[in-house]
Amino acid sequence: MATPGIFRNVNIIKELNAASSNQMFELYQPGWLNSLDIVANAKYSGFITCLRLTIDISSINELEPVASDILADDETITANGKATFQGNQKKCLSFYMKTNDTPLIKVVDIYLFNQRPYYYVDVLKYFTSSSTLDIAPDTQICVQVRDVGNGLLQNNDRVFLLGTVIEESPIYDQSVLNVE
């Protein structure tokens, strides 16, 4: 028989804008069960099932991609992708993780462009090849806007992070679940 647990759904909601500057923000850390829950002093583990960005940046020039013919070879497509990346202004959003035993470690830099009107990026794929990212009770995910030559977020620039987490805390004493 599977061990029962306590589950809850949590949303990750964070907006970064000009006021965010280059501050480091905690994006997600599994929560604690409160004192009114079935088990006291227990902490959840998290299973992030969705994490995406909505990017609306207008403080830099609009992206001008180098076009590739649909029949172009892989080398040409790669070269055109590099030229697009290097030839356009961009901002940077860095994601970090840490635990009680490890310092803050950078996981990925996601570069942000001015694509009108706005666009989405699935962030989960930068953390895992699975459909969920499993987060231990002592793990934190943090995010920071970094200057890569075109300044930080300015004026009406906006990056919205939206995610969904299923949190679970196991119950080890079967008797607390028995209803009489």
Residue type, 8: R
**Does 102 score more than 90 pLDDT?**
yes
User: How much is the average pLDDT of 10-28?
Assistant: 97
User: How much is the average pLDDT of 80-106?
Assistant: 95
Give the C-alpha separation, 54 to 43, whole Å: 30
Residue pLDDT, tens place only, 124-148: 999 999 999 999 999 999 999 999 9
Two tokens at 62? Answer: 């609009």
User: How much is the average pLDDT of 88-94?
Assistant: 97
Residue pLDDT, tens place only, 22-42: 999 999 999 887 655 555 567
pLDDT at 171: 66
Whether the Cβ atoms of residue 59 and residue 155 lie closer than 8 Å to each other: yes
**Does 178 score more than 60 pLDDT?**
no
Question: What does pTM read for this prediction?
Answer: 0.86
Residue type, 165: V
Half-sphere exposure at residue 156, Cβ-oriented, CA atoms within 13 angstroms: 5
pLDDT at 173: 56
- The domains located in the chain, with CATH, are 5-64+73-175 (2.60.120.340)
How far does the chain reach from its first CA to its final CA, in angstroms? Answer: 21
**Does 61 score more than 90 pLDDT?**
yes
Pairing of strands 140-146, 5-17: unpaired
